[in-house]
Chain A
Amino acid sequence: MIDRLVDPKLARRRALAWSAPALAFAVVWVYGPLAATFGLSFYDWNLTTRPPSWVGIDHYRELLTSREVREAAVTTVVSIAVLAGLAVLAPLVAAIAVWKRGGRLTGVYRTAFFLPVVIPPAAAAVVWEWLLHPVFGVANWALGGVGLGPYNWLNRPATALGAVLAVTGWKAFGLGFVLFSAGLTMIDRSLLDAARLDGATEAQVTRLLVLPMLRPTTAVVGFMAVVLGSQWTFSAVDVLTGGGPSGATTNAFYLQYRYAFDFGDSGGAAALAVLLVVVFGAVGIVQLRRDRT
């Protein structure tokens, strides 16, 4: 909907005027504090009365060679890959299926898929803690019925990470589902009927009509999953595993939080925050460029 009749200089001024309120809030509450964080990353400070002391790029050097950071980076990448499936692909398929043939059950599906989103993350994690309890949990009780287990889900690295991602994905699925469903409301169903009359198969209708028209939404949901996915795991990690066993569920964001609030290392936390912003900023820009419409 670009207006090409406006003089470019005027166009820039108008775009800035429309954006000014959002920019002002972002500068005051996000970019300003981020700049302060950047400055702090060159100091050693443990939040006590002792004044911060200048250490240059020491924090960055330590972080980049730390085994902890390397392991957290791997966990972060694995989490994002799994959540791309649970929070993008699965809700895309489900939203199209419900939109096409939900019929009278559409409301039921929407409610069922959306309900987990409304549950506060901390409360959701507690519920899953009951379900996964090693002795009394329903998960082991059900598996015991078919002669498997019991498993100590949250105390083994692979299953602990799986549990954290399952809880996070359970909530993120509904978020994607809502956004995809909203995107689908903008599609004119009569176009699909016309294609079907012309002999297009259901798969062709989906691939050649629905998916392209849903692209703006897919771009956003994919962007959110990649950039925010491992941040979404935060409360599940904090409640279910505290980052363990032996760091298996500690992703980069949880590690940053621990530097700040558990290790009392404000300078190191600031440096790790800056690294996270740089890495995810770069990833985000690549995605924005690819999805430019």
Chain B
Amino acid sequence: MSAVANRTRFVGGHVVLLAFAGLMLFPVAWAVITSFKPASATYDIAVHPADLTADNYRRALDVFPIVRLVANTAVFAAGSAIGQTALALLAAYGVARHSFRGRGVLLVVLIGSVVVPQQVLVLPDYLLASHLGLLDTYVGLILPQLGSTAVGVYLLFQQLSAFPVDLVQAAQLDGASERVVLFRIVLPNIRGVLAALATVLFIQTWNEYLWPLVVTKGIERATPCRWA
């Protein structure tokens, strides 16, 4: 390939990617701009810069205890993401590591919970949490999320199944136990995937709407998405 053609492809690739990035960012930018418009001008396409105001933010801070709400959501999301990632890693490692009859069944049970729609679980989970006295507590918010480890188990099982077997065998020859192999050999090598999984789970929980709405009554444990 000639240098000129190479250069053209390089620039062309970036033009396409940049245009796409702009398209993705546009609604976000629009939301930010709108947040500074006076309420009467919400739908105006063009707004005079002099009319822009921080009133909306002032009002939001007045009406809602934002700091408390954000802190609540952070506890909820971090607790769920860390718990789900840990449970998923242990289960995926156990299944990826061993071959036995019934392995497929175990995998289906671990991953199958993904097909149960969340809104189906809201009512029975609420009754259970209420029975256990967990309403309006962080524990009540987080525990039910730990039942949904399916996507994490699947992602980590796929990665671990493709994990280089020589690394594991070398450690085993040195007398490493299953636990040592997990923490010394496997973990350092899949950090990137674990971080991505935890991030995705954190954001998913951060954006959670239905469960916090149902399980929290007071504003002390509520998360801001209730009003979003």
Contact = CB atoms under 8 A, between A and B. Distances in A.
Interface in A254-279: 256-257, 260-261, 269-270, 273, 276-277
Nearest to A124: B27
B21 A23 contact: no
A163 to B, nearest CB: 12
Interface in A107-129: 108-109, 112-113, 115-124, 126-128
Interface in B87-103: 87-88, 90-91, 93-103
Interface stretch (A57-65, A149-157, A213-221, A242-250): A213-221
A250 B207 CA distance: 22
Contacts of A32: 124, 128
A87 interface: no
Contacts of B153: 22
A3 B117 CA distance: 35
A203 B125 CA distance: 50
A121 B207 contact: yes
Interface string B86-123: 01101101111111111100111111111111111101
Interface residues on A, range: 35 or more
Interface stretch (B12-20, B47-55, B64-72): B12-20
A37 B124 contact: yes
Given A26-B109, A186-B159, A116 B192 contact: no
Contacts of A179: 155, 196, 200
Given A6-B98, A122-B209, A179-B196, 8 more contacts: A1-B163, A1-B168, A28-B147, A30-B147, A108-B21, A116-B28, A127-B28, A224-B151
28 contacts: A1-B160, A1-B186, A2-B165, A3-B97, A3-B98, A18-B90, A19-B90, A23-B91, A25-B143, A26-B109, A28-B128, A30-B148, A112-B22, A116-B27, A174-B24, A182-B196, A186-B193, A220-B155, A227-B114, A256-B119, A256-B120, A260-B123, A273-B120, A284-B115, A288-B107, A288-B108, A288-B111, A291-B158
6 closest A-B pairs by CB: A18-B94, A29-B147, A33-B124, A136-B43, A182-B196, A216-B158
